[in-house]
Structure 1
Amino acid sequence: MKWFRFEQEGRERIGVESDGHRYDVTTQAYTDSLLEVITRGFEMDVDLDIAPLITEDVRLLAPYVPMRNVICVGKNYADHIKEMDTAGAGKFVLFTKAPSAIVGPFDSIERHADLTDQLDYEGELAIIIGTTGRDLTPENALDHVFGYSIVNDVTARDLQKEHVQFFRGKSLDGFCPFGPVIVTKDTFDPTDVLVETRVNGQVRQSGSTKLMIRDIVTILTEVSRGMTLEAGDIIATGTPAGVGHGMKPPTYLQTGDIVDVSIEGIGHLRNEVKA
């Protein structure tokens, strides 16, 4: 099952996609907040027989804005490490993105030309935490997952270097397109799905999640060691090779570029870089 948030006649609502059809389940969920659905452990057995069918085009929104920073795993694909540098290779690299960076799956990516000349993309599979927990084990880690989605970890490479750590270069407004849906874990296997990024129709990134150095369970167990994961937390799992910074010569995003990130079984983000 796929959960999503949408806007219709100026109102935010919650939808479910099943068997190729989309339904408005806002009334059954008793909320227009998908984050609330996740954090309160809402049962996912909504009755689609009585849910209104969505037959018109609607504007899809980011599924939600998390209560705290997006947790990101860095250098989790060997080929991406090679195209960038070897610093931190083999280490468990973690950083975060501010919640204010979140934008919808088809919203604009702000160019921030006054701050960066090196705007880059990173298509990634995202884990959505469903139940709070700490010190997860390989046996129970997946029990704490609600589902999976897509993020584009947009990055200002020059700011990333200038500030020594990643936070500012990763967190400018609009630097985290998210969505278009959250696929529940019971209907999605994240172990071998293709992550692709296209810029203006040209394939830049194409790599399977089976190439991740640390798999989903390992990420969950390592991130949660001594640190509580909360329902609604988003964990980005790293990006495959093909980022603009790794090209020869480096090729960064410009105003007007269209960035499309897709993952099998989830969908795609399509965001235009705007001044």
Structure 2
Amino acid sequence: MKLVTYRINHAPPSLGFVEENMIVDAHKLGQLKRSHLPDNMLEFIDLGIDGINNAIHLLNTATKDELLDCSIPLANATLLAPIPKPRKNIFGIGLNYTEHVAESARTLDTSNELPQQPVIFSKPPSAVTGTETNIIHNQKITQQLDWEVELAVIIGKRGKNVPKDQAMDYVYGYTVINDISARDCRRAGQWIVSKGQDTFAPMGPVLVTRDEIVDPHNLNLKLTVNGVEKQNSNTKFMLFNIEDLIHDLSTVFTLDAGDIIATGTPAGVGAGRSPQEWMWPGDVVEATVEGIGTLRNTIVDSEELNSK
């Protein structure tokens, strides 16, 4: 299934299922079919595979008229981040592609040795934004605004010390994340100021459930700035795969349904280019992951927003 959090005009956010070019409102479908379907993504994730199977059954048994009664054209909706307000910080994974390790060592003073364990950082929930929204560039804080296309993994159930051979059972689905980074905001090796500013975690446009992605370790990733390709790689080049990451993270933290893991970015970031390249107000950045979609955002100056 392709799941979205969406709104119409200024109405509260709703959970929807994407069917071709339409969004079927989950809660309204449930009401029509006298079955409970929640109106938000986190509650739906909490239902696990049973929730997905129930939704598929309701969609398959609904009449055309019933579907029309609870659907709107996708083009008429504003898509929010699939999980607009995560319960916890996003788990970010640094230096998870070999060539990105090399380019970071050249320009960001990180080690040129391949990590022996996943490099973990976090982004607060306030960093989350959706597709077709603005990424805020505070030029009083940073002059080095950078991009990072990544596959994000959504956890489907609570887990602690998850064995690698069971890790995929804990995956609910996937989305796209652009790990926006202010390269000049690292503090004594700590990354959260660089990674965690408001709007620095665009996600979307949809959440694709696990069953829709045959092999998450063979997905093309691409990123463009103003239509010019900057990154082009494949998830098969991850140093630590999804099983590794879930196992390692769960030995440190209890993973919960709705947790988000940003699995790292390949080479091609602005800091690694010669000369280095940064994003500035007016730039449009598009991050794409095969089988999920394209996340599109525009850079805006924080002063311009404050003056409105």
**More deviation, 55-64/171-180:** 55-64
Percent identical: 38
1:16 paired residue number: 17
Q: Distance in 1 between matches of 2:124 and 2:250?
A: 19
- Residue identity matched to 1:16: F
Deviation at 1:18, TM superposition (A): 3.6
- Residue identity matched to 2:189: V
- Residue identity matched to 1:231: A
Q: Which consecutive unaligned segments of at least 5 residues does structure 1 have?
A: none
Would you say 1:202 and 2:209 are equivalent positions? no
Q: Distance in 1 between matches of 2:7 and 2:86?
A: 19
- Look up the SS of the partner of 1:183 in the other structure: strand
Output one character per residue of 1:38-97: Cα deviation in whole Å (capped at 9) or x when no partner.
124361131122442322521100112211110011111001111110516323211001
Deviation at 1:218, TM superposition (A): 1.1
Deviation at 1:30, TM superposition (A): 4.1
1:79 paired residue number: 99
Would you say 1:57 and 2:76 are equivalent positions? yes
2:204 paired residue number: 179
Q: Distance in 1 between matches of 2:184 and 2:96?
A: 21
- Residues 120-269 of structure 1 correspond to what in structure 2 (within 5 A)? 120-160=146-186, 162-188=187-213, 189-269=215-295
Deviation at 1:155, TM superposition (A): 0.5
Match of 1:37 among 30, 40, 44: 44
- Residue identity matched to 1:58: A
Q: How many residues align?
A: 274
2:87 paired residue number: 67
2:305 paired residue number: none
Q: Which consecutive unaligned segments of at least 5 residues does structure 2 have?
A: 31-35, 302-308
TM-score (norm 2): 0.85
Say what the alpha-carbon RMSD is for the aligned residues. 1.5
Kept in 1, the 8 Å contact 2:148–2:265? The answer is: yes
Match of 1:98 among 93, 104, 124: 124
Kept in 1, the 8 Å contact 2:45–2:51? The answer is: no
Larger Rg: 2
Q: Distance in 1 between matches of 2:23 and 2:266?
A: 31
1:4 paired residue number: 4
Q: Distance in 1 between matches of 2:155 and 2:205?
A: 17
